[in-house]
Structure 1
Amino acid sequence: MPTLAHTIDGLKALAGTDLGRTGWMEITQERVNTFADATGDHQWIHTDPEKAKEGPFGRTIAHGYLTLSLIIPLFEELLEVSGTSMSVNYGLDKVRFPSPVPVGAKIRLHGTVASVEEVKGNAVQLHLTFTVEVDGSDKPACVAEAIYRHYA
């Protein structure tokens, strides 16, 4: 069940809140191939399972940017915002990919609201720390500091 925020004041109150973790999402070869088609990145470590068996990861892996992009649908499991006129992804301050996501692995998202600040235009800006965890791995696949703006 996601954390609910119904107003700008409700969002302000989330500063320092650990939003918890999502459910697990399996990373399939089909998803990786679709991402490769959308971005034009058909590097064999992502799209050629036979060749990848002999490669550094022993099998195909998800693109780092695919892993990053999956934060968006996973984040919906952590925070539900209503009572605002518009919400936008304002950007990223820092992104790292400490370990790969092998095809067939399951990932989940851990999110924390690091801080909240008021911004011009009757809005608040949430600074979020996201960690994409891989089932069975001690190292995260992605750690990102993201910024979202919500307008009253």
Structure 2
Amino acid sequence: MLVTPARAAEVLSWQGVGPVQLGMTVHAAERALGKKLAPRDLAFTSDECYVTGRADKVDPGITYVIENGKITVISVFRSDGQTPDVLDKHRAGIGSTEEDIRSAYGQVKKARGFYDRGEPPENDPAYVPEFWIEADSPDSKRTILFITQAGKITSMTTGLKPMVLEAEPCH
């Protein structure tokens, strides 16, 4: 089920999301977006590594991992009841299927999600396992990570290895 957006969607690729590219400085990303990024939360981060988003709270489901002043990971997910208008170049996005990923990227790695050990919580009939599907770039230095449940994409992340594969970046 490829998604068809109402307007032109931002494109997620091995290079970044929309105008924001992996490796950009915070200042360059703010120029590309035409918006400021939010100040980092001092309680949970350091100058070397932190997670941020747009200061104006538009697209709360897009976050940026900043390592040593440069963007290394961009995540896209549902937040505050909103789904960001982001698709990959094959038109797969949140709500698309695992089959869409395999059709688009061919050889991918699929594993249980980081927090999902495969054991349903006791007496939880609503339990649905989570999977991580990795689509590596041709040079294997970047990955698009699709998180799925019940065969559908629930979030997408693009980034530089190894940070893109961290369950909790900057921790």
* Structure-1-length-normalised TM-score: 0.31
Q: Taking CA–CA contacts closer than 8 Å with sequence separation of 6 or more, which of the two structures ends up with the larger relative contact order?
A: 1
Higher strand content, 1 or 2: 1
Q: Could you state the TM-score of these two structures normalised by the residue count of structure 2?
A: 0.28
Larger Rg: 1
Indicate the structure with greater helix content: 1
